[in-house]
Amino acid sequence: MPHPKVLNKTRFAYQPLVFADEEAVPQFVTLVQGTYSISDDGTDVLLLDEQPAPNIAGEWFGDPETSSMKFEPQIAFSKPATDIVMLGSAHAPRAGTTRMQAGIRVADTQKLVNVIGSRRLVNRLGASSVTDPEPFETMPLIYERAFGGWDRRAEDPNEHRCEARNPVGVGFRAKSGASDEEVILPNIEHPEYPFRSYGDTPPPAGFGFIGPHWQPRAAYAGTFDEAWDRSRKPLLPKDFDRRFYNSAAPDLVARGYLRGDEPVVTIGMAPQGRVAFHLPGAPAPACVVNLRGLQAVELQTVLDTVIVDMDAFTVTLQWRAHLSVRNGMHDVVSIEVLPGGSA
């Protein structure tokens, strides 16, 4: 298959992709990515001279079967709203810290969590208690540190159960199981739903991407039942919802698309505590796609992913647009990627 010619007139990284929609119609996807460094004082952003390419395959914090995602694989041809994702670690404000808060706000979308030192739920003679949290200096804010995980205590693997909202976390115990002597408790909690006693199932708290098989995201994939297997397979179910493609934590999916110039505030995610800046304000790039038969189509991208990496002190913006093409990439002769406002 011939590769289309690409003329990228922006300073951003660019990746053409092809996916299928719900009816298996090929969708040509134009993915533009801009990565900016956050200034040392945390007040400004500057476009990197060398732009990292989009991570098409994704990246996990460990084994993909048992760990959470650091960067999502690119499987979406369209997202209905902007995903806001924050990566990084909580930084204790002083020596001996055992509890603190960390969070992010982008425009009117915000999230705050409690960060707590390592502790255990101890069960002795039928009475349970939570040990005092240990001091910490930094705490990775990953889903492995939030409520969730598996209960594999039963000898029969068919009786193993998991927390569907976060299969990689800690603290989950099935209601049918007996109390065990010690349970590792989460380090990251929703401020309004702390873990209090054996059998609690608070909502998992986190800022990262969630897996496609995690709830509530998995519910948007639709109904894969006998009727689907008999009359619809291999197409996606009729009740597939494109909100499935939003992979941020549900409370970090913006209401619609961000413009890209919104104020950002993080707390507890850097040694200096509070960091405040604005997204860079770059207009959304455009893309002119020249198809076979001399037809040219102009696509206007939308900002559908914002990744604030407080460990790397970078901000990554991803803009996306898509176009139905009969024969996939074979129909595309050339692509011209243009700065916003110049198409």
Q: Which of 160, 189, 218 is the endpoint of a domain?
A: 189
- Band (pLDDT 50/70/90 cuts) for residue 177 is low
**From the CA atom positions of the chain, what is the Rg in Å?**
22
Instruction: Give me the pLDDT at residue 196, please.
Output: 85
What is the pLDDT, as a whole number, of residue 2?
Answer: 64
Structural domains in the chain (count): 2
The pLDDT of residue 89: 98
The answer to whether residues 316 and 236 belong to one domain is yes
pLDDT at 244: 97
157 and 117 in a single domain? The answer is: yes
Q: Report the sign of the C-alpha dihedral through residues 189, 200, 209, 221, in that order.
A: negative
**Which residue among 161, 189, 217 closes a domain?**
189
**pLDDT score at 194:** 93
- pLDDT, tens only, 143-152: 999 999 999 8
Identify the pLDDT of residue 125.
67
Rounded CA gap, 115 and 129, in Å? 19
Domain co-membership, 142 together with 228: no
Of the candidates 258, 206, 270, the residue with the CA atom closest to the CA atom of residue 43: 270
With respect to residue 147, please indicate whether it lies within any of the assigned structural domains. yes
In this predicted model, what pLDDT tens digit does every residue of 274-326 receive, in sequence order?
A: 999 999 999 999 999 999 987 899 999 999 999 999 999 999 999 999 999 99
Predicted pLDDT at 283: 96
d(CA 112, CA 268): 10
- Position 203 in a domain: no
Let me know: does 40 contact 50? Beta carbons within 8 Å: no
Q: What is the pLDDT of residue 197?
A: 82
Please compute the mean of the pLDDT values over residues 73-81 and round it to a whole number. 97
Task: Give yes or no: residues 28 and 117 share one domain.
Answer: no
Give residue-wise pLDDT tens across range 212-232. Answer: 999 999 999 999 999 999 999
Sign of the Cα pseudo-torsion (181, 187, 188, 189, in order): positive
What pTM, to 2 d.p., does this model score?
Answer: 0.95
User: Distance between CA atoms of 21 and 159, rounded to whole angstroms?
Assistant: 36
Do 36 and 83 have their domain in common? yes
Residue-number span of the structural domain to which 140 is assigned: 99-189
The pLDDT, as a whole number, for residue 312 is: 96
pLDDT value at 74 more than 80: yes
Q: Taking all residues of the chain, what is their mean pLDDT, rounded to a whole number?
A: 94
In a domain, 326, yes or no: yes
Task: Give the pLDDT band of residue 343 (cuts 50, 70, 90).
Answer: very low
CB 318 within 8 A of CB 303: yes
278 occurs within a structural domain: yes
For residue 70, pLDDT beyond 60: yes
